Structure 1
Amino acid sequence: MDFLRAKMSLSSLILVTALSMVTADFYSSKYDDFDIKPLLENDRILLSYTKCFLDQGPCTPDAKDFKKVIPEALETICGKCSPKQKQLIRQVIKAIMDRHPDSWKALTAKFDPENKHKEDFDKFLAESRK
């Protein structure tokens, strides 16, 4: 009986460890339901996030969290993003590109000054058009 209990405990530990490793491959789902409507509908809010990312203005707690993952998300072309996060990111980036091209240039100059990720990132943005 003790052997069976020990075997079940070991199996449970292995399963929990494996699941935690799988979930660690993605960013937190905390922002999967982030309401981007205010950003898309209000240029003042959109620009405040942009200024935060560029170290030109204060950051909300949400903007701080997003800013922390920008370098890695760019490096991996959102490899740890959930499908929902990818959709949200594409929408916000397209809004910045369309309505504030100078801000977009400043963001790319800061986070990808050598344009190492431009081609792959352009493909990432185009995926939503398929």
Structure 2
Amino acid sequence: MHPQHFCMIVMVTTATVVAADFYSSKYDDFDVQPLLENDRILLSYTKCFLDEGPCTPDAKDFKKIIPEALETSCGKCSPKQRVLIKSVIRAVMERQPKSWNELVDRYDEDRKYRESFNKFLEEKD
């Protein structure tokens, strides 16, 4: 194999592996403002996550990654996703504390990830 071809294969493989280390960038530009500004919309997402209401396609996608994101303190989140997730979680915590506690009970019943996740939430964006 020609050395240039080998280098190209290594670069493509490396780029693929690095990209796989993050969640899909599909939602990097997700507009969280409606969730942050409208309690009804925020509550509908929360109810979806708790299996208490219908899910929009976006909410379904987010719901799938909640357990892993919680366990890893958003370890596969891109920098943009980290900012978006922190904004939404802080809104739920502040405006819907009961729902937040229900989410914690559902996704971290043993409170194994609470301390590390709280540190993630406190990090500067």
TM-score (norm 1): 0.91
Q: C-alpha root-mean-square deviation of aligned residues, in Å?
A: 1.3
Q: Distance in 1 between matches of 2:94 and 2:88?
A: 10
Are residue 78 (structure 1) and residue 74 (structure 2) matched? yes
Match of 2:12 among 10, 13, 16: 16
**SS across alignment from 1:128:** coil
What letter matches 2:23 in structure 1?
Answer: Y
Q: 1:29: Cα distance to partner? A: 1.3
Q: 1:30: Cα distance to partner? A: 1.2
Q: Distance in 2 between matches of 1:106 and 1:93?
A: 13
**SS across alignment from 1:113:** coil
Instruction: Give the aligned partner of residue 120 of structure 1.
Output: 116
Match of 2:29 among 30, 33, 36: 33
Unmatched runs of 5 consecutive residues or more in structure 2: none
Q: 1:28: Cα distance to partner? A: 1.2
Q: 1:15: Cα distance to partner? A: 1.4
Q: Distance in 2 between matches of 1:72 and 1:118?
A: 13
Q: Distance in 1 between matches of 2:119 and 2:3?
A: 48
* C-alpha distance after superposition, 1:73-107 (max 9, x if no partner): 11110011111111111110111011111100100
Instruction: Give the aligned partner of residue 54 of structure 2.
Output: 58
Any conservation in 2 of the 1:87–1:128 contact (CA below 8 Å)? no
Instruction: Give the aligned partner of residue 101 of structure 1.
Output: 97
Q: Find runs of 4+ consecutive structure 1 residues off by over 4 angstroms.
A: none
Q: 1:10: Cα distance to partner? A: 2.9
Q: 1:7: Cα distance to partner? A: 3.5
**SS across alignment from 2:123:** helix
What letter matches 2:96 in structure 1?
Answer: H
What letter matches 1:122 in structure 2?
Answer: N
Unmatched runs of 5 consecutive residues or more in structure 1: none
TM-score (norm 2): 0.94
**SS across alignment from 1:70:** helix
